[in-house]
Amino acid sequence: MRRTDGEVLLLGALPVVGVIWLSAFLLFPGFVQPMSPTMSAEEVAAFYRDPENLPRIRYSMILFNWFAVGFVPILALIVLQIRRMAHRTPIFSYAILACAAGGPTIFLMANLFWLLAAFRPMRDPQLTLMFNDLAWVTFSSQVGFLIAQSVILALAIYLDRQERPVFQPWVAHFNLVVAALLIPSAFTGAAMTGPIAWDGLLTFWVRNVAIGLWIIVMAVVLGRAIKRQRAEDEAVAA
């Protein structure tokens, strides 16, 4: 039997990390009213130079830098549930592990660009504009690993053919819907205004809400799956 000690603790840490993510999100002055891509270099530089904004930019991004990888344990727990599924190879669990390695690294790149822009706000506004563009484009367009982990998880669930599957089929459907909602933001470079722009309805609001919802829903179904697994393990041990 595999050891399951500590899994509940890892899952229980998620709400705490979630509160930190939400606080960092609200703290960053560029998120609550997302910055527009149409801002000029001077306006972007002024945003970073504003003494009201500067500490909030730094502290929020430091928080993200600390806790963005808090996402990884959740994926690791999903990997362990996939290994309990009725598959003949470990391909799906390996693939989710690969997503866990790739995804947060990309988010940290965006985080670095924001922090760099804020480190010396008196730089040439053209440079601040470029760091700001790199940050927003990386943050908005890099949905590939999130899409992949949802699609791979959905495939794993559909192919989990046993009497009591680890996750119900609706979890797979839900993951496919989330993956579809993330697709438009990959096109963020194509528009400076409108729903696809990085401050737009689809790219900013729909994508971020979808990611938030995915974390909440997956935490709940993971919690149930882990609970059931423990009950079954105890029944066997007894």
Partner 1 sequence: MSASAMGNVPEEPPGSLLRRIAWHWRYDEKRELWIGWWTLVVFYNLYGLLFFVITRTQPPPEPSLGSSEVVEWFADRRHGLVYGYAIVFIVGGATAIMNATLAYSMRRMSVSRAFAYSYLVIYALATLPGMLIMGVACTVGAMRPDRDPELMRWLYDFAFLSFEGTMGVFLVGSLVWMLAVLLDENGVFPKWFGYLNLCNALTEVVVAPAWIFKSGAFAWNGTIAWWINMGVFVTYTIVFLTLLRRMILREDFGTGPLPDLSPGRAPAPSGLLKAAR
Q: Which of 33, 52, 89, 122 binds partner 1 (CB under 8 A)?
A: 89
Q: Would you count residue 193 as binding partner 1 (CB under 8 A)?
A: no
Q: Of the two residues 20 and 127, which places its CB atom closer to partner 1 in the complex?
A: 127
Q: Contact, 111 vs 30, CB < 8 A? A: no
Stretch that binds partner 1, among 9-17, 48-56, 126-134, 208-216 (CB under 8 A): 126-134
Q: Would you count residue 229 as binding partner 1 (CB under 8 A)?
A: yes
Q: How far apart are CA 43 and CA 59, in angstroms?
A: 21
Rounded to 10°, the helix 7-27/207-237 angle is 170
Q: Which of 49, 56, 58, 83 binds partner 1 (CB under 8 A)?
A: 83
Which contacts qualify for 165-172: CB closer than 8 Å, 24 or more apart? Answer: 165/85, 165/86, 166/81, 166/82, 166/84, 166/85, 166/225, 167/81, 167/221, 167/225, 168/221, 171/217, 171/218, 171/221
Q: Would you count residue 97 as binding partner 1 (CB under 8 A)?
A: yes
Q: Would you count residue 146 as binding partner 1 (CB under 8 A)?
A: yes
How many residues are there in the chain?
238
What is the binding site for partner 1 (CB under 8 A)? 1, 37, 83-84, 86-92, 94-99, 101-102, 105-106, 109, 126-127, 129-130, 133-134, 137-138, 141-149, 151-152, 155, 159, 161-163, 183, 186-190, 192, 229, 232-233, 235-236
